[in-house]
Amino acid sequence: MFFIDTIETESLGNRSYLAGGARTAVAVDPPRDIDRVLAAAAARGVRISHVVETHVHNDYVTGGLDLARLTGAAYLVPFAARVSFARTPVADGDTVSVDEGITLRALATPGHTPHHTSYVLEEHRSVAAVFTGGSLLIGSVGRPDLVEPRLTEQLARAQHASARRLAAELPDETPVLPTHGFGSFCSSSQAEGDATTIGKEKTANDALVKDVDSFVANLLADLEDVPAYYAHMGPANAAGPRPVDLSTPPLTDAADIAERLAAGEWVVDLRNRIAFAEGHVAGSFNFEAEGKIATYLAWMIPWGKPVTLLAESPAQLAAAQRELVRVGIDRPAAAATGTPGNWMPDGHTPRSFPRATFADLAAQTPRPDVVLDVRRDSERANGWIEDSVHIPIHHLHQRLADVPAGTVWVHCAGGMRAAIAASLLDAAGRDVVAVDDSFDAATEAGLPLTTGS
């Protein structure tokens, strides 16, 4: 009997897979921190004989090359992918034997990238599942605009054709196992649900229920900004990522932290937003280790700028390092653990700012000077607080000068991004209040909302 294990990278909205039989297995689209894949194989008591990529990824650094090197597995990469390392090129229709009676068959599904390839897992020639990478997702497809703007419409049309090929050639009961679509910005829209089949997608996926022109028009109209760090992921993966290093970074002290801040480096406090608001090193930024630190820190930091991590514990520091290597922030310049008292020179006191709810905002008389909304465009389109200023969080660091004068009440949809924004504004010397609340509470609080219609 075959098995399929899912290796979740929830913070990036991605999944990798380990599939095989009694003795050997294949790893599909492995993450950078390959120890999780090795642990899954060890738990199954199998050897990894093949590592496969559905495409050259644009949203994370792959662990495929390193995993193949460590295990001696064959490294299968789509034939048309332009890469700089030795690999086993895979073309449409190629098959490999994974274990006795278990095979993997390549199926060309261009669209997310020009070379994108899905893999059909078969047991004794019966279809068991299909690994669709960034092609057919749950209720959606992978976005086609990550390669080159002039190719976007062409790739969108290819996505439509590829989805239909999968639907035509595979049985309705085939489980669809995508890499993207669980919160990943590689998805053209946010998927609903946790599992699907070819049959379910035939009734719900735009690529399978709409004609190609309608599908393409709607797909392109709904595309949003992608994280800025995506521009660096494809080249890193094509060049061949170096082995990951999760060893503890150089530990630093209060004087060095002050010097780094004075030099314009980023000092990132990983503690939760409540602790940060109550007291933090002046000039530091708050990216919660328990939040989407990989996505938002990598999106906002100038690429290559040194970053120092401040954590409340070695475990929190290690978890953040693991998140960051997945998106190419390989080695923090320095790190420290403890509390703000450990991170500031003698005689300095922590900075702080208040937190509030939407009910607190509604009770303000007169109205606060500035209400700043840092949600994405698609979120704001569903309604916003009247007279609020809109600067999406990923633009705020470059647009601090656009925030009007006065005390700033900043909000997002739930509180995490508002905390990041509040830390940026606080570091710039602004008076700020972080609204740590669900946006649903804005209506309940009686705040006037508008859609601009």
| pLDDT per position as a tens digit, 77-106 | 999 999 999 999 999 999 999 999 999 999
| Low-confidence residues in the chain, pLDDT < 50 | none
Query: Nearest 5°: CA angle at 92, between 89 and 93?
Result: 110
Q: Is 373:385 a contact under the CB 8 Å cutoff?
A: yes
From residue 167, alpha-carbon distances to 16, 304, 398, 419 in Å are: 22, 43, 44, 44
The tokens of 8 are what? 């979740």
Residue-by-residue DSSP string for 177-235: EESS-SS-TTBSS---SS--BHHHHHHH-HHHHS-HHHHHHHHHHT-----TTHHHHHH
Q: Is 48:71 a contact under the CB 8 Å cutoff?
A: yes
Given CA atoms 10, 5, 169, 192 in this order, what sign does their dihedral have?
negative
Q: Is 4:18 a contact under the CB 8 Å cutoff?
A: yes
Q: Is 164:99 a contact under the CB 8 Å cutoff?
A: no
Residue-by-residue DSSP string for 133-144: ETSB-SSSBB-S
Q: Is 30:16 a contact under the CB 8 Å cutoff?
A: yes
Strands 14-20 and 3-9: antiparallel
Q: Is 55:64 a contact under the CB 8 Å cutoff?
A: no
pTM, two decimals, is 0.94
Residue 232, burial from CB neighbour count under 10 angstroms (0-12, 13-18, 19+):
middle
| Cis bond before residue 144 (omega within 30° of 0) | no
26 alpha carbon, distance to own chain's centre: 24
The structure tokens 């609903």 sit at 192
Query: Which residues lie closer than 8 Å to 86 by C-beta, 6 or more apart?
Result: 75
Strands 384-385 and 370-373: unpaired
Q: What is the pLDDT of residue 192?
A: 67
Distance CA(380)–CA(147), nearest Å, equals 27
3-state helix, strand, coil in the chain (%, to 5): 30, 25, 45
Q: What is the pLDDT of residue 233?
A: 96
416 backbone φψ class: left, alpha, beta (φ>0; ψ -120 to 50): alpha
Q: What is the pLDDT of residue 184?
A: 82
Distance CA(278)–CA(257), nearest Å, equals 20
